Amino acid sequence: MAAKKEIRSDNTYMISTDDTDNPKLGAKILSDGRESLFLDYYLGYKMVYNEAKDKEVAKKERKRESLKLYLWQAPRTPLERQQNKETLELAKGIRFEREQELKDGKLGYRLKAKEINFFDFIQAYYEEYTKADKRMIKAAVKRFTDFIALEYPLYKNNISPERVSHDMMEQFVEYLQGTSKGEGALTHWKRWKKIVKAAVKKDILRKDPCEDIVCKADEDALKKDILSIEEMQQLIGTTYKEQNMETRRAFIFTLYTGIRFCDIKDLTFGNVDYSNKILSFNQKKTQGHSSKSYVSIPLNDGLLSLIGEASTDSPDEKIFKLPSQTMCLKALRHWTAKAGIKKHITWHCGRHINSSYPLKTRNLQRLSA
């Protein structure tokens, strides 16, 4: 028994029964006793201005294609029934071919991407991004917009996704390697690929233009300078009149614990369990993205002496009252120069030093005095 037709208000009904079909086959009932066959395409989303909400909102786009094929609405003879059967089979075949073409990116919503400003997608992606490296995503976007303004000035305000080609991405990598130092180019490239991958997933881009393109970091920069045990002793033993003692105390703590700057600047006395000699906190870099983000570090008397005691009753009081990261880095470079150390030591080097040596902290109280 044939399935009952669900006639809609516009005198159409869908013949396709599979929700995954795109396009879907349907028919419109005509007044002359025939049914006109058509294909309904789902074309993805388009950002349109909503006056009531006073902002742009996502709106589904659709397209209808008339097949110029007709069925008898109520076939009366064997010939009309046979004609209906053959016409319906032809229409289903056309629908299948259109679907394959759509998947191959030869027509339909993928070509609609030409009408999208890729910068709008990038901005929307950044605004919705919630992971810890959002600042790096912003930096990668800035590099791309600067690159387009320099190399493709005609597209500096509006670039269609089809223009974001493999050749353009190769040029973008060369631009990154020419304008970024050390690992900067590789860092920006990794974040940019995340944006592109999202665009492919959302059908903004037909395929990944970054595929098979390699961005190499500056190998010399990858050789991170670290302090030897002797140099570390030399640095800790160096003090001078105008030295920032908070920066000094915090960097020595990093040397012996490996804690990142982004974490050490926010440590509070509430993170310290004095009775059990444990420091516990959530690492910002992995918080919310890893089960290992929460760490507990055992403390000895030397580390406890570096931490000291709170000056207030608030558990939110910061252990290290540090200036900005830039000022901390300047203080560290001045300190290493005073100590006669010519290596390029950054705050993050303290983390690498900690992972390079099995440091013992039993003499820390004397060294940090």
**For residue range 100-146, what is the model confidence (pLDDT) as tens digits?**
777 665 443 343 444 688 999 899 899 988 888 899 999 999 999 99
> In this predicted structure, what is the pLDDT of residue 21?
83
With 70 as the cut, is the pLDDT of residue 365 above it?
no
Give the bridge partners for 356, in sequence order.
none
Mean pLDDT, rounded, for 282-311: 77
With 60 as the cut, is the pLDDT of residue 221 above it?
no
Query: What is the SS3 assignment for 47?
Result: strand
- Look up the pTM and report it: 0.43
Residue 149 CA, distance from chain mean position: 23
For the domain made up of 229-367, the CATH class stated in words is mainly alpha
Mean pLDDT, rounded, for 143-172: 87
Give the bridge partners for 58, in sequence order.
47
> In this predicted structure, what is the pLDDT of residue 26?
93
Q: Report DSSP letters for 274-329, one per residue.
A: TTTTEEEEE-TTTTTT-TT-EEEEE--HHHHHHH---SSS-TT-BSS----HHHHH
> What does each C-alpha distance from 319 to 267, 268, 285, 288 come to in angstroms?
6, 5, 20, 24
Residue 267 CA, distance from chain mean position: 27
Mean pLDDT, rounded, for 222-249: 85
| Extents of the domains making up the chain | 12-111, 116-221, 229-367
Task: Provide the mean pLDDT of the chain.
Answer: 82
> In this predicted structure, what is the pLDDT of residue 115?
63
The more confident residue out of 60 and 67 is 67
d(CA 312, CA 24): 69
> In this predicted structure, what is the pLDDT of residue 272?
93
d(CA 188, CA 214): 12
The percent of residues above 70 in pLDDT, for the chain, comes to: 81
Give the bridge partners for 296, in sequence order.
280
Q: pLDDT band at 174, cuts 50/70/90?
A: confident
Give the bridge partners for 91, in sequence order.
none
With 80 as the cut, is the pLDDT of residue 82 above it?
yes
The more confident residue out of 52 and 16 is 16
Q: What's the token pair of residue 294?
A: 């929460």
With 70 as the cut, is the pLDDT of residue 45 above it?
no
The more confident residue out of 188 and 152 is 188
> In this predicted structure, what is the pLDDT of residue 138?
93
Alpha helices, H only, the chain: 78-103, 109-112, 118-128, 134-151, 166-179, 184-201, 219-222, 229-236, 245-257, 261-264, 301-307, 325-338, 349-356, 364-367
With 90 as the cut, is the pLDDT of residue 327 above it?
no
